[in-house]
Structure 1
C-alpha cells in the first residue's frame, strides 16, 4: 500500500469535493505545481488509491426501489454464493459481514414487483442460500463516497 502524505490527502479532498476541478486550480489552492498534482493523481490512480467513477442517482434513472438484503448461507458456501450474486445487474454491492448475516447486498429495482421477482426467482435458484432478510429503503439521508 502506498503511503499518502498531506499533499496527497489534500488532493483527494479537492477531487472529492469537485472531481471536475482542474489540476491547475488544485495546484494553485495547494501552492504546488500543476505537474505535482498530475504526477500524484496518476500515481494514486495507478496504485488503486482511488478511481474516477460516474455516480448516478438511481431514482433519476428509474430505479425507485433500493433494498439491503441480508443473506445466510450454508456453511462453506459463502464465497460461492457471493460470486453468483456479483453477476446480477441489479446488485450494486456484495460484502461478507460478521453479525446476523453472512453476506449483505445492496440492489436497485424499478418496481417492488422486480424486487419480489429477484427474491423469489433469482435468489431462490441460487445453491447455498439458507434464507434472506429484505430491507427496503424508505428514505435516504446520505449517500457519499467520501472518507
Structure 2
C-alpha cells in the first residue's frame, strides 16, 4: 500500500466531517480536480483505508442500554470465544486486550432486561468464558469515529 499524503488526509478529514459531501465540493475546497478526488477516494477504498458506513444513534433506534463487558476466558479459548461473540447482533465491538480482561465487547440492548438475558442466557452458554464484568454507560461525553487530522501527515 502506498503511503498516504497530505491530500489523502485532507480528503479523509472532509469525509469524516460530512460523508455526504460531493466530489465537486471537495475538489473546490482542496483546489484540485474532481477526477483527482474520485481517483484518490477509489484508491483508498480499494486499499481498505476506509469504508463508507452509516453510524446510527443507538438511542434513536430504541437501543437505550449500552454495555461494555470485560470477559475473562479459559486459557487457549480466547479466539474461539471471540468468534462465537461475533454472531450476536447486539455486539458491536470485540477486542482482545491485555490486563484484567482477555476480551472487551461493546453491546447495545433495548432494555436492562435484555442485557441481563444476554449475560445470563447467551454468554453463559459459551464454553471458555470464566467471567463477565458488565459496565453500563450512564452518560456519554463523546462518540466519534473521526481521528484523521491533516497535521498527522508526515510530508
TM-score range, shorter chain: over 0.9
Unaligned runs of 5+ residues in structure 2 are: 148-155
Which protein, 1 or 2, shows the higher relative CO under an 8 Å CA cutoff with sep ≥ 6?
2
Question: How many residues are paired up?
Answer: 147
Give the equivalent residue in structure 1 for 2:131. 131
Spell out the pairing of 1:80-95 with structure 2 (5 A cutoff). 80-95=80-95
Tell me the equivalent position of 1:70: 70
Which structure 2 residues correspond to residues 46-125 of structure 1 after superposition, within 5 A?
A: 46-125=46-125
Between the aligned partners of 2:66 and 2:21, the Cα distance in structure 1 is 31
What stretches of structure 1 move > 6 A for 4+ residues in a row? none
RMSD (Å) for aligned C-alpha atoms? 0.6
Instruction: Give the equivalent residue in structure 2 for 1:23.
Output: 23
For residue 131 of structure 2, give the secondary structure of its aligned residue in structure 1: strand
Q: What is the SS of the residue equivalent to 1:24?
A: helix
Looking at structure 2, the residues matched to 13 and 84 of structure 1 have their Cα atoms a distance apart, in angstroms, of 35
* Residue of structure 2 equivalent to 1:3: 3
CA distance in 1, matches of 2:45, 2:141: 30
Q: Structure 1 CA distance, aligned partners of 2:76 and 2:2?
A: 34
Provide, for residues 45-95 of structure 1, a one-character-per-residue CA deviation record: whole Å limited to 9, x for no partner. Answer: 111000000010000000000000000000000000000000001000000
Q: Using structure 2 for the length normalisation, give the TM-score.
A: 0.94
State the TM-score, normalizing by the size of structure 1.
0.99
Q: How much has 1:9 moved relative to structure 2?
A: 0.3
SS of equivalent residue, structure 1 residue 70: strand
